C-alpha cells in the first residue's frame, strides 16, 4: 500500500539503458491474454492503494496495483460502481490489469467501456519519465487524450501508476428476465430493444435463451418487467458475474474467440458454440475452424476477432492494415524508444 513510482521509474530507466525488455505485471491474473512476453518481470503489485475517493465527485483515483475487489468494495459501500464491470480473473486482479487489457463486462453496450470512464492517469513511459495526463474532472480537452490511449494498450506504451475513473451510482433496483429464443430472433430482439428507451443494461443469448437485465428505479424496472414479459431469473447476480469473469461453462476450455462485431450483424456462418452479448456487439465462439477462416469471416462482417488462450507465439489480435500498423509503430517509438515495455505482447512489431 505504497507509492513506489520512483522505484518503478528507476527500474525502467535502468532497463532502457541496458535495453532489457520488461514484462509489466500486477498479479499476473491476465497472463493468458495477449502474446507471451519473454523477459524480466517488472512488478507493480506493491504500488497499491486508493488515493482519493469522494462519492460526491463521482471519481475514484487508485494506484495500478490496487485489487479491483478493494476498489469495488469501497464504491459499493457508497452505493456506487464501476459501470463498465471489469472482468476479474482472480480475487487479486488489479486495476492496472483492467485498464491495460481494456476489457469491459456485460454493461458495456449500455453504459460504456473502460476507456469511456478513464479520466486521467500517471504513467512511466519507456524512458523512465513519470508523466501525468488528464485529471479527475469529467471534461478535459487539454493535451492529447493519453489516458484513453493507455487503455487497452497492454502496457506497451507506459507503465500505469495511478488511474482516475468516473464512477456511477448503482441502480436502485435490478432483475433479469429469461425467455426461450432461437438465435436469429434473439439478435433481432436485442436490436429492437436497443432502439427504444427500455431500462435494459445487459443482454445475453446462450443455449437458446435470451437473458435481459433491467435496472433503474423500482417502478421503472417493474413496469418494464410487465411489458417485456419472461421469467425472472433467480440468483441473476451470479449469472452476470460469471459472464463478466468468463466463468460460464463455455469459457472453461481455451482457446476460444472473442468477436467484436457491428451489433446488427447477422449470425456468422461459423460452426461452434456461441454466446452473444452486448446487444449483438460482442460474441464468443468456441470452434474447431481454422484461425484464418474465423478472422476472414469476422472481418467480412465488419468486426475483429481475438484469440483467448495461452497462445505463445500465435497472432492473438486481429492483424492491422499496413498503414495503421506503421502508425502504431511510430506511437510505440514515441513512448518507448528502446522498445522495452511488454514488447510483443500486443503485436510482434510493437
Partner 1 sequence: MNPSRHDLIRALQAFLPDEAILADEEALRPYECDGLSAFKQLPLLVAMPETVAQVQQVMRICHQFQVPVVARGAGTGLSAGALPHSGGVLLSLAKFNRILDIDVQACTARVQPGVRNLAISQAVVPYGLFYAPDPSSQVACSIGGNVAENSGGVHCLKYGLTVHNVLKLEVITAEGELLTIGSDALDSPGYDLLALIHGSEGMLGIVVEVTVKLLPLPEAVRVLLVAFDSVEKAGQAVGDIIAAGIVPAGLEMMDNPAIRAAEDFAHAGYPTDAAAILLCEIDGGLDEVASQVARVRGVLMQSDATEVRLAVEESDRQKLWKGRKSAFPAIGRLSPDYYCMDGTIPRKALPQVLHQISELSKEFNLPVANVFHAGDGNLHPLILYDAGKPGELHRAEQLGGRILELCVKVGGTITGEHGVGVEKLDQMCVQFAPLELAQFHAIKAAFDPEGLLNPGKAVPELHRCAELGAMHVHQGQLAHPELERF
Q: Segment 162-201, which members bind partner 1 (CB under 8 A)? A: 168-170, 172, 191, 194-199
Q: What contacts 164, CB < 8 A, 6 or more positions away?
A: 59, 60, 61, 118, 119, 120, 121, 134, 135, 136
Contact between 255 and partner 1 by CB under 8 A: the answer reads no
CB of 33 to partner 1, least distance (A): 13
CB of 204 to partner 1, least distance (A): 15
Say if CB 55 and CB 78 are below 8 A apart: yes
Alpha-carbon gap, residue 313 to 30, rounded angstroms = 16
Q: For partner 1, which is the closer residue by CB, 235 or 323?
A: 323
**Binds partner 1 by CB under 8 A, chosen from 3, 46, 116, 273:** 116
Say if CB 306 and CB 318 are below 8 A apart: yes
Residues 10-39 contacting partner 1, CB under 8 A: none
**Binds partner 1 by CB under 8 A, chosen from 29, 93, 101, 125:** 125
H helices of 172-276, in order, are 183-194, 218-228, 236-244
Q: What contacts 96, CB < 8 A, 6 or more positions away?
A: 24, 26, 44, 64, 65, 160, 163
CA trace torsion 244, 249, 250, 252 (10° rounding): 90
Q: For partner 1, which is the closer residue by CB, 27 or 225?
A: 225
Residues 78-107 contacting partner 1, CB under 8 A: 79-80, 102
CB of 85 to partner 1, least distance (A): 14
- What values do phi and psi take at 252, rounded to 5? -60, -35
Contact between 8 and partner 1 by CB under 8 A: the answer reads no
CA 146-282-207 angle, 5° bins? 155
- What are 284's three cell numbers? 464468443
Residues 318-347 contacting partner 1, CB under 8 A: 318-321, 323-325, 327-328, 330-331, 333-335, 346-347
Alpha-carbon gap, residue 100 to 156, rounded angstroms = 9
Q: For partner 1, which is the closer residue by CB, 102 or 344?
A: 102
Based on C-alpha coordinates, what's the Rg of the chain?
21
Contact between 138 and partner 1 by CB under 8 A: the answer reads yes
Residues 264-323 contacting partner 1, CB under 8 A: 264, 278, 281-282, 302-304, 306, 317-321, 323
CB of 92 to partner 1, least distance (A): 26
Residues 44-83 contacting partner 1, CB under 8 A: 54-59, 79-80
CB of 273 to partner 1, least distance (A): 21
Contact between 230 and partner 1 by CB under 8 A: the answer reads no
Q: For partner 1, which is the closer residue by CB, 195 or 235?
A: 195
Contact between 161 and partner 1 by CB under 8 A: the answer reads no
Could you tell me whether strands 50-54 and 130-134 are parallel, antiparallel, or unpaired per DSSP bridges?
unpaired
CB of 96 to partner 1, least distance (A): 17
Contact between 40 and partner 1 by CB under 8 A: the answer reads no
Alpha-carbon gap, residue 242 to 88, rounded angstroms = 10
Amino acid at each position: 500500500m505504497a507509492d513506489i513510482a520512483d522505484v518503478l521509474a528507476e527500474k525502467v530507466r535502468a532497463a532502457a539503458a541496458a535495453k532489457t525488455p520488461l514484462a509489466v505485471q500486477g498479479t499476473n491474473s491476465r497472463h493468458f491474454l495477449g502474446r507471451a512476453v519473454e523477459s524480466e518481470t517488472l512488478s507493480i503489485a506493491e504500488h497499491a492503494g486508493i488515493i482519493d475517493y469522494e462519492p460526491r465527485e463521482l471519481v475514484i483515483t487508485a494506484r495500478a496495483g490496487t485489487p479491483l475487489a478493494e476498489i469495488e468494495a469501497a464504491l459499493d459501500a457508497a452505493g456506487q460502481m464501476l459501470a463498465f464491470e471489469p472482468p476479474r480473473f482472480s480475487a487479486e486482479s488489479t486495476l492496472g490489469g483492467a485498464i491495460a487489457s481494456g476489457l469491459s463486462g456485460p454493461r458495456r453496450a449500455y453504459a460504456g467501456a473502460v476507456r469511456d470512464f478513464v479520466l486521467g492517469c500517471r504513467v512511466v513511459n519507456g524512458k523512465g519519465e513519470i508523466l501525468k495526463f488528464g485529471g479527475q474532472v469529467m471534461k478535459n480537452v487539454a493535451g492529447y487524450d493519453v489516458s484513453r490511449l493507455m487503455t487497452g494498450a497492454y502496457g506497451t506504451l507506459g507503465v500505469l501508476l495511478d488511474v482516475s475513473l468516473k464512477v456511477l451510482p448503482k441502480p436502485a433496483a435490478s432483475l433479469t428476465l429469461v425467455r426461450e429464443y432461437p438465435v436469429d430472433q434473439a439478435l433481432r430482439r436485442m436490436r429492437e430493444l436497443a432502439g427504444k428507451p427500455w431500462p435494459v443494461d445487459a443482454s445475453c443469448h446462450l443455449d437458446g435463451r435470451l437473458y435481459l437485465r433491467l435496472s433503474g428505479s423500482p417502478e421503472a424496472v417493474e413496469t418494464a418487467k410487465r411489458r417485456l414479459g419472461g421469467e425472472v431469473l433467480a440468483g441473476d447476480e451470479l449469472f452476470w458475474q460469471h459472464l463478466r469473469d468468463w466463468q460460464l461453462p463455455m469459457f472453461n476450455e481455451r482457446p476460444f474467440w472473442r468477436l467484436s462485431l457491428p451489433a446488427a450483424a447477422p449470425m456468422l456462418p461459423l460452426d461452434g458454440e456461441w454466446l452473444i452479448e452486448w446487444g449483438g456487439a460482442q460474441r464468443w465462439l468456441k470452434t474447431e475452424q481454422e484461425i484464418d477462416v474465423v478472422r476472414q469471416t469476422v472481418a467480412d462482417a465488419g468486426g475483429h476477432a481475438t484469440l483467448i488462450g495461452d497462445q505463445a507465439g500465435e497472432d492473438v489480435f486481429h492483424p492491422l492494415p499496413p498503414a495503421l500498423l506503421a502508425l502504431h509503430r511510430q506511437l510505440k517509438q514515441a513512448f518507448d524508444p528502446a522498445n522495452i515495455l511488454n514488447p510483443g505482447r500486443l503485436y510482434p512489431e510493437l
